[in-house]
A and B are shown apart, each in its own frame.
Chain A
Amino acid sequence: MFFYAARRFGLALLILFVAVTVMFLMIRAVPGDPVQIMLGPRATPELQARLTAELALDQPIIKQLMIFYGNMLQGDLGIDVFSGRSVTTIVFQQLPHTLWLIFASITWSASLGIALGAYAAAHPNTAIDRAAAAVSVSFVAAPAFVVALLSLLIFAVHLQWFPAIGAGEGFWDRLNHLVLPAFAIGLSWVGYIARLVRASMLEVMGESHVRTARAFGLSERRIVLIYALRIAILPVVTVIGVGMGFLLSSAVFAEIVFARPGLGKLVIDSITTRNYPIVMGSVLISTGLFVISTALADLINAWLDPRARAAR
């Protein structure tokens, strides 16, 4: 397990390096003089020249990349051009908002999705199964931004149950502010996970150990919840790991629609203003999160299912 974990995290570092390098090159390929865009129309030539030098934009791109990695290894992600604050501070100030949103979304969608999928698999080809299938597919098909806007109009404007904007202060208020955005970006995952769990459960329910359990006279509920679900849930762990990446991108629009702080909003604003240090800092952290979450999902999978470990 140790060597497997070491190998997996080595791969994660390689992926991180490639992803961040690609992003670094892409952001520099975007048209427009970043210094002119950052400083606006009235910046003095001296200020423009100073910022160009500070950001090393007058250096060859390979050297810029080396400078970026050199600084990064020393924990220095640079300084925000507008506020003069450290990029590390800014990014880590926004990160918890995004993490909470992703965590809330994945928690509720996985809980409901697993329950729905397991229940449908336990009652295959019944009206309940067909209803669950219809609901699941509807959830998957519902565009998240439409869900976001409709939920805002219904639950924030009309019923006024939940707040429409912001992230809140204090635990309960923050939780309250999470309800609508987490609902919006988690809804399609409910359907997806439900379909996945159902398919996986049906496969497991046909296996010999389940037939043996039945032969021993165990109750159907016990067989489904204890013996079948434990194995059927394994693909969900992997999917949740990959889902972190998708949820990170979904968080971008949720943060805009719900006017929440977070990494996604930070990146969008920073790309628009060509604020390179913030863009790269945010990309580094969000890519790192994605790579780590997929690696962790693989490790958990391997820990839960020795077959996965042996297959590698």
Chain B
Amino acid sequence: MKIEWTRAAVGRRKFLKGATALGAAAALPAGMGSRAFAAADGVLRVRTYGDAQNMDPAHSVGVVEEEVHASIYNKLIQYKPGKEWDWQLDAAAMIEQASPTHLKFALRDDIGFTNGFGAMTADDVKFSFERIVAEATESPNKPDMGPLSHVEVTGEREGTIVLKEPFAPLWSIALPYITGNIVSKAAVEAAGGRIGADPVAESGPYLRDSWSPKEKTVLKRNPDWKGDTPAWDTIEVYPIDDENTAEIAFEAGELDFTRVAVGSVARYRDSVPNGGTLLEYPSLYYTWLGMNLDHPKLQNKKLRQAIQHAIDVPSIMEAAYYGAAQPSTGIIAPGLIGNRAKSLVPPAADFEKAAALLAESGEANVTLKLDTLNKTTFTTAAQVIQATLSQIGITVEINVLESGAFWASADNEDLQLVLNRYSMTPDPYYATSWFTTEQVGHWNWEQHSNAEFDQIHQAAFKESDLAKRDAMYQKAQDLMEESGAYRFLTHGATPVVHSAAVLPALRPDGQALLRYFGKA
């Protein structure tokens, strides 16, 4: 073996000098020397939990994309920021319910699309709404448009929305939410009928300036916007899934607005760093314990009722939600039509009654499996349920699943108990739609099938009398609870924090309406 004794080209001193210089260079000019704080440079930095990766409202997958869509597109009406659900005019200069199935509208004359696609016309409204319900579009958001028949164009900027039958959620979901976004007919047709990751023409107060996948979306003020001038020149939207990371970024001064974990609410109630503010909004989402009515172990209604009464909801609120959420009375949140003042089974457990019901059922040595998502809130709630059910002698085995496997539970023939949470839009129609007979085998995991419930669901979305509609949805929830398949837990909470420089504009459920965000 021959060893060549040659001197290394880089000596120790040279190496150390180089490394020191590199370290200093990395730290000083960009790091310690020039740290920019959020909002200080006219940029609003907000966090969402996911990446807005599709700019087509017809194929939007929810809130994350809607936050961007609502800023770069216009709707006839928009949600009004505040604590009560309401709407305000946006692209429409006028809109009125001419009859239960006809809505007349007139567009403002000062809204135009980018990329040379001209002024917004009633043709664009017709195209945008009708493509949502067209079979060829294959839009998952089609149900939001309900029984839309067509849009009649009666003038350059005037038209009539025609429904096949009355549809109350038109005002609360269809027009002010995802499906209400108006796109440019000419631009979409030029793009082959479908919008992808990049918008083909925008019209809102902001334009999407750039999108760095998994990193951020940058919105810049639309120089041609003729409406009220938006407060911020630039909005940067950061997709951060982990709430703890978002909280650290907020406390480091890198975010101006973020939702925070319910476990952090108590800390932020004491003090929010950097002069910020904590806002606590109720959520529309609903969480419940479901019981599979088709499972052999859960055929006995008395057993199911015993389970309903043995679950102590206030304990779950304390342990899993740190006291930041309130017990729910059903699937429809406070503030919406159909919310019940109280549930049939009170939130606090009644162990005596539960034990008596169990004895009446004749069931003994009951062991049940409880499926839940692998999120701390749910696993903690499941543990509380396990503990409280054990007090009447029911053994619960907790089965923690990752989200993909959990959301495929419709295929799980052995599903027994399930701790579940569904998202929600601000209309009760959306909530009851998942518990109909039609949804058995899909999203109705309890296999709940009740003809009266189905009839109420079909009738209530057509009902224009608010009092009647309210009573119908309350009755629907009574039926769910009476089946013994449901123990309603909570709607959760939407706690958010914002920096001192920001005046947030939020829906009553705490979701951000970015275009209306102001400066303090």
Contact = CB atoms under 8 A, between A and B. Distances in A.
Interface string A248-288: 00000000111111100110010111100000000000000
Interface residues of B, number: 62
B225 interface: no
B54 A226 contact: no
A175 B26 contact: yes
Contacts of B196: 83-85
Contacts of B216: 166
B408 A176 contact: no
Contacts of A164: 245, 248-249, 252, 254
A19 interface: no
B3 A261 contact: no
A44 interface: yes
A94 interface: yes
A7 interface: no
Interface stretch (B113-121, B135-143, B322-330): B135-143
A156 to B, nearest CB: 4
B252 A156 contact: yes
A157 B215 contact: no
A41 interface: yes
A176 B35 CA distance: 10
Contacts of A133: none
B30 A167 contact: no
Contacts of A32: 404-405, 407-408, 411
Given A165-B254, A225-B11, A42 B140 contact: yes
Contacts of A34: 404
B507 to A, nearest CB: 21
B140 A47 contact: yes
B142 A37 contact: no
B479 interface: no
Interface in A122-169: 149, 152-153, 156-157, 160-168
A227 interface: yes
Given A82-B61, A84-B197, A111-B19, A39 B140 contact: yes
A205 to B, nearest CB: 15
Contact of B248 (A40, A50, A153, A175): A153
Interface centre among A34, A50, A83 (most CB of B within 10 A): A83
A237 interface: no
Contacts of A163: 35, 252, 254
Contact of B142 (A30, A31, A44, A162): A44
Contacts, number: 159
Given A42-B140, A176-B26, A226 B8 contact: yes
Nearest to A209: B3
A166 B242 CA distance: 13
A256 B241 contact: yes
Contacts of A306: 1
B130 interface: no
Nearest to B211: A83
A269 B239 CA distance: 12
B267 interface: no
Given A85-B197, A307-B1, A165 B138 contact: no
Contact of B404 (A93, A172, A226, A271): A271
Contacts of A269: 51, 214, 241
Interface centre among A33, A42, A93, A156 (most CB of B within 10 A): A42
A172 B26 CA distance: 7
Contacts of B96: none
Interface string B395-419: 0000000111101101100000000
A258 B408 contact: no
Given A40-B140, A163-B252, A225-B11, A33 B411 contact: yes
A90 interface: yes
A256 B252 contact: no
Contact of A259 (B3, B240, B443): B240
Contacts of A175: 26, 30
A274 B242 CA distance: 19
A259 B140 contact: no
A167 B241 contact: no
Contact of A94 (B139, B142, B213): B213
Given A160-B253, A266-B214, A257 B140 contact: no
A272 B50 CA distance: 12
Given A175-B26, A179-B27, A165 B241 contact: no
Contact of B245 (A80, A258, A266): A258
B197 A157 contact: no
A173 interface: yes
A172 B30 contact: yes
B238 interface: yes
17 contacts: A40-B140, A44-B140, A83-B54, A94-B213, A115-B16, A156-B248, A157-B273, A161-B35, A165-B238, A165-B248, A166-B216, A167-B212, A167-B215, A209-B3, A230-B8, A273-B404, A274-B404
Listed from nearest, the 5 A-B pairs whose CB atoms lie closest are: A32-B408, A172-B30, A176-B30, A261-B214, A47-B138
